[in-house]
Amino acid sequence: MDKLIIRGGNRLSGTIPISGAKNSALTLIPCALLTDEPVTLRNLPRLADIDGFQHLMTQFGVSHSIAGARPEDFGRVVTLQATRITNSTAPYDLVRKMRASILVLGPLLARAGEATVSLPGGCAIGNRPIDLHLKALEAIGAEIELAQGYVRASAPGGRLAGGDYDFPVVSVGATENAVMAAVKASGTSRLTNVAREPEIVDLCNLLCAMGAEIEGIGSSDLTIHGVERLNGATYKVMPDRIEAGSYACAAAITGGSVTLEGAKASDMAATMHALRNIGVEVEGDEKRVRVEANGQLKATNLSTAPYPGLATDMQAQFMSLLCKADGTSVLKETIFENRYMHVPELSRMGAHIETTGRTAVVHGVDELNGAEVMATDLRASMSLIIAALAATGETQVRRVYHLDRGYERLEEKLQLVGADIERVGDD
């Protein structure tokens, strides 16, 4: 198992290319189940989660091919084709490793009229039930049964009827599953209080390119007129706003000057606003975002929220940044109840953080110190990297397989802007 060794103190300067969005790609891939024609995804990031999802797709008879792949390239072009669905069961051994696997439920149900999917796994960041997924699918005509750790869903008569569902709370995954199921229903579905994340917009745009009829894209209310057949399409995955925000925090904590090439400022408004409140200069357009910092960071109060609020996936990175701010900051995590597992590891590096429930009080310190730390989940891993870049001495980050799930060739990108970071085998 690999580990990362980081010698802190270098000011980051230069350009980092931003990859395709992991959270979007994991939703776009299962769209291939909705048609017998090829679906080609461009700018697909090279990540463990993407590879795992493609492996899951082969379970259903989906073929995939990679065009012009070169080891030195970031991203790749992958064509998926489900000429016919050979199997509608997603087994535990494949699903347990990745929570996003539940996203095959909606499209399998829409295409095959039935689906059996194991209850999912993924990062241990708190209880993330799938009840909203199931209630939304029931509302548009599915019959649901839970048995022996599996969800068994069927469409009476082989096709969902469509229907209305008002989400009691905003749920990204449940919105995605409901949308993918509704696009091939026999009637119209109206989904209200849906998630509005840019990744949802990306999903709807691909589905429309495939022939779906969706109204209200980007709003909290979607009207989906079911169609009998969808066609293939070629589509470019949106840039990863969480990756871009993570590197922006890395630049800020080192007093750096970094251009995030390919990042889209309109998707990152909450992150950019938070950075400005901390004293970081940040500006951008639809092609790139520029970050300028002088090393003088100000304390602030932040709270995560559904889009357009500050993403929960950015909470850990901002916590590391605030460890070096002048004064005391307060962070509130409103999405997940167990997303402070990085706090003990940051404390090993000299951070002063107090947590009570979903609130963290971060007292800025003059200096962070290198230490041996262990990653607990994907975004917590990145928070340790960010802290290590500003720490005195050497930091060793273990269990970096978490990072490989969501950051494409992280150490190479950080080396491009002057970080002293290397990956080595963990003895």
**Is 258 within 8 Å of 417 (Cβ atoms)?**
yes
Residue 159: strand, helix, or coil:
coil
- Of 95, 87, 85, which Cα lies nearest the Cα of 130? 95
What is the DSSP code string of 104-157? GHHHHHHHHSEEEEEPP----SS----HHHHHHHHHTT-EEEEETTEEEEE-GG
Q: Where are the domains of the chain?
A: 2-19+239-425, 22-236
Does residue 323 have an active-site annotation? no
Fold of the domain built from segment(s) 2-19+239-425? UDP-n-acetylglucosamine1-carboxyvinyl-transferase; Chain (3.65.10)
- Contact partners, residue 396, CB within 8 Å, separation at least 6: 3, 4, 5, 6, 371, 372, 373
Binding-site positions for UDP-N-acetyl-alpha-D-glucosamine: 99, 128-132, 313, 335
Residue of 123, 204, 249, 323 with catalytic role: 123
Give the Cα separation of 76 and 89 in Å (integer).
28
Give kind and range of the element (H or E) at residue 203: helix 198-209
Tokens, residue 245: 């925000």
**2-19+239-425 and 22-236 agree in CATH topology:** yes
CATH code matching the domain that covers 22-236, chosen among 1.10.1740.10, 3.65.10.10, 3.40.605.10, 2.60.40.10: 3.65.10.10
* Alpha helix positions (H), 279-377: 315-322, 343-348
Give the Cα separation of 159 and 153 in Å (integer).
12
Count CB-CB contacts under 10 A for residue 153: 26
Binding-site positions: 22-23, 99, 128-132, 313, 335
Helices 105-112 + 172-182 axis angle, to 10: 10
Taking only the tens of pLDDT, the chain with its 427 residues reads: 899 999 999 999 999 999 999 999 999 999 999 999 999 999 999 999 999 999 999 999 999 998 866 766 788 999 999 999 999 999 988 887 787 899 999 999 999 999 999 887 544 434 447 899 999 999 999 999 988 889 999 999 999 999 999 999 999 999 999 999 999 999 999 999 999 999 999 999 999 999 999 999 999 999 999 999 999 999 999 999 999 999 999 999 999 999 999 999 999 999 999 999 999 999 999 999 999 999 899 999 999 999 999 999 999 999 999 999 999 999 999 987 778 989 999 999 999 999 999 999 999 999 999 999 999 889 999 999 999 999 999 999 999 998 999 999 999 999 999 999 999 987 6
**Is 350 within 8 Å of 343 (Cβ atoms)?**
no
Beta-bridge mates of residue 144: 153
